[in-house]
Structure 1
Amino acid sequence: MISAQWTPTDADIAEARVTEFAQFVERRHEVTLPDYAALWRWSITELESFWRAVWDFFEIRSATEPGVVLAERGMPGARWFPGVELNYVDQVIRHARPDRTAILGVGEDGSVREVTWTQMLEQAGALAGTLAEAGVGRGDRVVGYLPNIPEAVIAFLATASLGAVWSACGQDYSASAAIDRLGQLEPAALITAAGYTYGGRFRDKTGEVAALVEALPTVRLVVTVGGDSEHAQSWSDVTAEPRPLSPVAVPFDHPLWVVFSSGTTGLPKGIVHGHGGVVLEHLKSIALQSDLGAEDVFFWYTSPSWMMWNFQVAGLLTGATIVCAEGNPAFPTQDALWGIAARLGVTYLGTSPGYVLACIKADAHPGTDHDLSALRALGITGSAMPAASSIWLTENIGERVPVFSISGGTDVVSAFAGGVRTAPVWAGELSVPFLGVALAAFDEAGRSVTEEVGELVVTEPMPSMPLYFWNDTDGVRYRDSYFDTYPGIWRHGDWITMTDRGSVVVHGRSDSTLNRNGIRMGSADIYQAVEALDEVTEALVLGIELPDGGYWMPLFVVAPDGVTDELRERIVAAIRTQASARHVPDEIIAAPAIPHTRTGKKLEVPLKRIFQGAGAAETLDTSAVDDPAAVRWFVDRAAEDQRVHRAR
């Protein structure tokens, strides 16, 4: 039996919001739910009762009372709460506390700006009034090209209050990359900023903003935070006169925002979510799974380009204070993020496995160098979390703080599995499927399996599944993305194992599966073994089917001191010991850097295609990549390998 890394105390269970919810369900439905596992099973077998219980437990505000919960159950096309009208922003306004801070804006220089609930709502009201005067209304798009600053949150609230549709990307994107995304929406208004600070340097974005304005002919209002522009109104002028924020009621499935896929392998997909589905899903995820409430300070290091920004904004739905941090989390020192958490009294901190690994390599000591006594939980997402990193966090933060690894996607703007205050944490595993998520692992025959690697599937609809993809009028792209393998069942594209304990292990993307001699393997298992070595900064493994029927599995490693024979031996030994002999690569190759999407995911799929002979320009958009120079190295290496194979 594997020992749990963290186990809830009786007090944890008694005080958890999810326990209060379970008791609410027990009274209402006369059922017995002794633990989280029982509650989860009830939530997916009694799907309509569960989501109505979420609605009533949180006393969601709506202009019309809910009747039918799920009018159409099939996927895609499930139809939730027909006839109900509400607004996301109404659920935020109900928590307004004039004397409390709603948003903490943190600069890379350590400066902190407090925005009270009153200031946030009055500025949102003022901006909403200006947007309305410019003719922006229900269904129109308002887009942001902004760093992660409080104004981005306020602009979203102003937009949503009007029934207009929000979308944004961070200013680390070039103008052309932003146009690829925001240009699809034909926006009526643009909210932007003069620039942002990263790595100790201010990055002026006025040129990119000008290019963006020129490329968006439908824009009739531009508002700029900081700086001057003859073509824009200043944020300070627009919000100088406070106005009340008065949300309009819209249908449950009215578009709230458009979030975009990474766009590394083609034009980014614009994924549309609705007001009602997001309110339900995020209240469940933030309040019940994450146990956040009005006294919490919620900080997930993110960007407006990434769905975790939307997820963090949802802290406002519970009355929590949220943190917007601009800049590099590892500047001026690797442990800078921990310093922010300590100074602000953060109670729930979210980051990525990559950042944690970098702290390990830098020999950081966050628990002793910073006062993290306010911290109640850590959240980790972006890629699979190695068990060794999870254990390091416990050793360096404290055994009292659970490490909740979560896995989900932009597609549902939430998580499928993660942690909860009332269930144990096992290192390297996600503790539980989330409530209301009928999660399973399917084998190749479409059978549900446990203790075996399978495709991550969801067999019942979730309210936050996409309404549709932007400009996908016949729905073909949407159906092909999730329902082409198992009709009527959502296939997400990850390999997972559902354990007998009820936990979930994520092995990596199934569309970049390593399949050697018919045995399927996940890349995450290799990364966990290799990246734990002190000499290795990062690794990338590819499984490449060759034209002659052969299979080549190279492992690329970034090693500052070079890949010596001794290091190769250590890498092989680590993989054999921690994964298996079949995980050992055919070749270990030194690389200068590993490229990622701008949300931190390794480019396994497009690089595999390039090594199989696909053209780089048709396969990969480097504007959506964090390090184009690293991509060029891989393209050159692929061309060299193809010449060698042809010569043979």
Structure 2
Amino acid sequence: MIDQQVRDNNIVWQPSEQRVSESNIKKFSEQVGIPAVPYDRLYSWSIAKPGEFWSAVWDFAGIIGEKGEIAFVPAEGGGMLGAKWFPEASLNLAENVLRGDASRVAVYIANEQGVQRTVKMAELRSLVAKAQTGLRKLGVTQGDRVAGVVTNGLESLVSLLATSSLGAVWSSCSPDFGAKGIIDRIGQVQPKVIIASLDYQYNGKQFNIRENIMAVCEELKSLSAVVSLSEIPELDMETSTQLLTWSELLSHNVDVPTFTRVPFHHPLYILYTSGTTGLPKCIVHSVGGVLLQHVKEHQLHCDVKQGNVLSWYTSTAWMMYPWLISGLASEAAILLYDGSPIQKERIGILWEIAEEIGITHFGISPKYLDTLEKHGYEVGKKHDLYALQVVMSSGAPLISEQYDWIYKTIKKDVLLESISGGTEIIGCFVMGTPIHPVYRGENTCKALGMAVDILDEQGASVIGKKGELVCTQSFPSMPLTFWGEGGDERYFNSYFAKREGIWTHGDLAEQTSRDSLIIYGRTDTVLNPGGVRIGTAEIYRVVEQIPQIIDSIVFGYPIENDEEIVLCVVTENDDVDKELAEQIRRNVRKKASPRHVPRRIYVVKEVPYTNNGKKVEGAVRSIARGHEVKNKASLANPECLREYATLAERSYV
């Protein structure tokens, strides 16, 4: 249980009166006539009156389109499935994203060499108009799928917006996926057109994926065209698929795009889960749900305003990619960065860019911050972060010590938001706001309009105890379905089979008496020694503070109707002696509990990650138990699993 008195002394940032008074959430509260402070009043209203709340978000954000008279129709018989949002509405994502003054900066383009160019809104609109015409000539119409195997560059953004402007559906993955990884994803949705980065650079190395794209094309029966972002495609395809370059797609004398407005629930994106236990799930998201959820999160929670500069280090395979792009709908500029976030000679490349272009909202992962800390990189001393207002982190729980490091090393007066949600909702269940204090180690609050709770194994709401994170009411960015045969049934089984009428998200979490939350990890990787539920993040937050530990992964190994905790660590000298092992166990015992202490400690050369940068405890657990990992194509470094297959034969400390 949380020691509340200790936590009350752990405020690491407090908003000034000016910050609160000038915040978007304060202005929103005045618009709806409900005070923003205390937050629980505004939050409770957003849950009690969902139609009024989301309609007010539409108005506050100035969504372009027809809203209609009805905002929310509850599901027959109650529950979350079957509810309807804005059934009379029509809108278009690209129309909302391409808004604002033509002369304003819309996009900064950067790579491992730094900022390469600035794109104003007039140019972006012109590029989208040309690409839209090109896609239309290739036969793309409303409801068709266009897939990108692309890096995070200008062409990817233009392709996405041109696709959505036509009422078509966009889906993407990054080019570092192998042929099987690409086929496992976009092969399921059968796109009409593929846009591909045949050549790309990462961490100073050049990569050529022509063979992968040719293999993908041979598998796709629906494909009519491939658009290459390389001017010399050199694709030897045996199919009748048309091949053209990017410049050929854009070779049309048109500068003003048109917009096909579609119903609120019309498909916009197909996103993919990591898929380490089977084929990735193809999650279909709606135009209205995506746009409304994102403007709420950007404007009310992250305080994104006109003229701000929003960045998030992401690939095109992660949900933070469309989340970033939606920042344009708040008339902020966005940074598109293509490359490695940390290079040997330029560890702080992202901060160099932040200083140069005046980034106000900087999004990243805990792993990135941990790497900077272990390099001893003092961000605030090396860079003038005059514009920086908000640091956001997602992808894994942010540990308490990282809160301290951020405020000590990056900037003292910055709002830190550790946010948590998922691909499944293309948004967040828990976030922060500019009106809350920040407590170290905690996710600040439940997001407006999201009826979040923590339930124990008996289904009772609990405070100060670990339980499962759930959502008990419908929200606009719930998926439409999973793409493919039996999609509705697979969707139901993934989130609603465990508790009738309640979304069970799969996170082990705890809520405090002030309604902040602490995320401990995924419930499918929860450790259970002696019947006590332990989240993997509870161990990582201790182990990875030890200087000799570069990385780690933990899982449970079955033994005599119980399980013991196994910890694998990457160290500086590829060794764990008895002294280091004792330090690990001593720290875990002291800072977590005796139950958390690992029984076995192994040294490994590498920790497996998904292509989106998430540790895969489940894959390690499976292979260590002698089971097959079904979909290694989802992993960025699948070859490292070999050493985990032989752990049982090795000695441990």
Alignment of 1:278 with 2:290, yes or no, is yes
Match of residue 155 from structure 2: 151
Alignment of 1:517 with 2:530, yes or no, is yes
C-alpha deviation, 1:32, in angstroms: 4.6
Give the conservation status (yes or no) of the 8 Å contact 1:128–1:159: yes
Q: Equivalent residue of 1:57, what SS? A: helix
Give the conservation status (yes or no) of the 8 Å contact 2:72–2:83: no
C-alpha deviation, 1:252, in angstroms: 0.8
Alignment of 1:81 with 2:94, yes or no, is no
Give the conservation status (yes or no) of the 8 Å contact 1:141–1:166: yes
C-alpha deviation, 1:544, in angstroms: 2.5
Give the conservation status (yes or no) of the 8 Å contact 2:456–2:468: yes
Alignment of 1:292 with 2:308, yes or no, is no
Match of residue 248 from structure 2: 237
- Cα distance in 2 for partners of 1:385, 1:592 equals 24
Q: Pick the aligned partner of 2:18 from 11, 24, 33.
A: 11
Q: Percent identity?
A: 36
C-alpha deviation, 1:265, in angstroms: 1.1
C-alpha deviation, 1:515, in angstroms: 1.0
Match of residue 361 from structure 2: 348
Q: Equivalent residue of 1:491, what SS? A: strand
- 1:300-322 CA distance string (max 9 Å, x none): 00000000001100111101111
Give the conservation status (yes or no) of the 8 Å contact 1:380–1:405: yes
- Cα distance in 2 for partners of 1:309, 1:322 equals 11
Alignment of 1:326 with 2:333, yes or no, is no
Correspondence 1:541-560 to 2 at 5 A: 541-546=554-559, 548-560=560-572
Match of residue 391 from structure 1: 404
Q: Pick the aligned partner of 1:36 from 31, 34, 39.
A: 39
- Cα distance in 1 for partners of 2:71, 2:380 equals 50
Q: Equivalent residue of 2:232, what SS? A: coil
**Count of residues in Structure 1 that have an aligned counterpart in Structure 2:** 632
Match of residue 164 from structure 1: 168
Q: Equivalent residue of 1:180, what SS? A: helix
Q: Pick the aligned partner of 2:625 from 612, 617, 633.
A: 612
Q: Equivalent residue of 1:412, what SS? A: coil
Give the conservation status (yes or no) of the 8 Å contact 1:137–1:163: yes
Give the conservation status (yes or no) of the 8 Å contact 1:64–1:85: yes
C-alpha deviation, 1:227, in angstroms: 2.6
Given the superposition, is the C-alpha separation of residues 474 and 223 from structure 1 closer, same or farther in structure 2, using an over 3 Å criterion? closer
Correspondence 1:214-225 to 2 at 5 A: 214-225=218-229
RMSD across aligned positions (CA): 1.6
Give the conservation status (yes or no) of the 8 Å contact 1:142–1:189: yes
- 1:444-474 CA distance string (max 9 Å, x none): 0101111111100001111101000011435
C-alpha deviation, 1:260, in angstroms: 0.4
C-alpha deviation, 1:111, in angstroms: 4.1
Letter in 2 for 1:101: V
Q: Equivalent residue of 1:34, what SS? A: coil
Match of residue 130 from structure 1: 134
Match of residue 604 from structure 2: 591
Match of residue 491 from structure 2: 478
Q: Pick the aligned partner of 1:98 from 102, 114, 117.
A: 102
- Cα distance in 2 for partners of 1:472, 1:287 equals 37
Match of residue 201 from structure 1: 205
Q: Pick the aligned partner of 1:465 from 446, 469, 478.
A: 478
- Cα distance in 1 for partners of 2:497, 2:123 equals 47
- Cα distance in 2 for partners of 1:36, 1:314 equals 25
- Cα distance in 2 for partners of 1:621, 1:475 equals 23
Q: Equivalent residue of 1:5, what SS? A: strand
C-alpha deviation, 1:64, in angstroms: 5.7
| Greater alpha carbon shift after TM alignment, 454-463 vs 61-70 | 61-70
Structure 2 unaligned runs (5+)? 1-7, 235-241
- 1:98-137 CA distance string (max 9 Å, x none): 2122111101122422221111111111111111122111
Give the conservation status (yes or no) of the 8 Å contact 1:71–1:82: no
Q: Pick the aligned partner of 2:313 from 301, 306, 314.
A: 301
Correspondence 1:366-445 to 2 at 5 A: 366-445=379-458
Q: Pick the aligned partner of 1:59 from 59, 62, 74.
A: 62
- 1:332-371 CA distance string (max 9 Å, x none): 3322221221122111111110010011110001101111
- Cα distance in 2 for partners of 1:258, 1:580 equals 42
Give the conservation status (yes or no) of the 8 Å contact 1:263–1:269: yes
Letter in 2 for 1:551: E
Q: Equivalent residue of 2:356, what SS? A: helix
- Cα distance in 2 for partners of 1:35, 1:610 equals 49
Q: Pick the aligned partner of 2:633 from 605, 623, 635.
A: 623
Alignment of 1:573 with 2:586, yes or no, is yes
- 1:210-263 CA distance string (max 9 Å, x none): 222232232112212123236522212322433321111111100001000011
Letter in 2 for 1:227: E
Given the superposition, is the C-alpha separation of residues 375 and 33 from structure 1 closer, same or farther in structure 2, using an over 3 Å criterion? closer
Give the conservation status (yes or no) of the 8 Å contact 1:131–1:221: no
Letter in 2 for 1:268: P
Give the conservation status (yes or no) of the 8 Å contact 2:54–2:71: no
Match of residue 519 from structure 2: 506
Q: TM-score, normalised by structure 1?
A: 0.95
Letter in 2 for 1:54: V
Give the conservation status (yes or no) of the 8 Å contact 2:399–2:441: yes
Q: Equivalent residue of 2:207, what SS? A: strand
- Cα distance in 1 for partners of 2:104, 2:160 equals 20
Letter in 2 for 1:2: N
Match of residue 363 from structure 1: 376
Alignment of 1:265 with 2:239, yes or no, is no
- Cα distance in 1 for partners of 2:364, 2:69 equals 37
Match of residue 25 from structure 1: 32
- Cα distance in 2 for partners of 1:550, 1:274 equals 44
Given the superposition, is the C-alpha separation of residues 64 and 341 from structure 1 closer, same or farther in structure 2, using an over 3 Å criterion? closer
C-alpha deviation, 1:33, in angstroms: 4.6
Match of residue 226 from structure 1: 230
Letter in 2 for 1:87: N
- Cα distance in 2 for partners of 1:215, 1:227 equals 24
C-alpha deviation, 1:600, in angstroms: 1.5
Given the superposition, is the C-alpha separation of residues 68 and 348 from structure 1 closer, same or farther in structure 2, using an over 3 Å criterion? closer
- 1:565-590 CA distance string (max 9 Å, x none): 11111111111121111100111111
Letter in 2 for 1:626: A
Match of residue 632 from structure 1: 642
Give the conservation status (yes or no) of the 8 Å contact 1:334–1:358: no
| Greater alpha carbon shift after TM alignment, 296-305 vs 77-86 | 77-86
- Cα distance in 2 for partners of 1:514, 1:558 equals 21
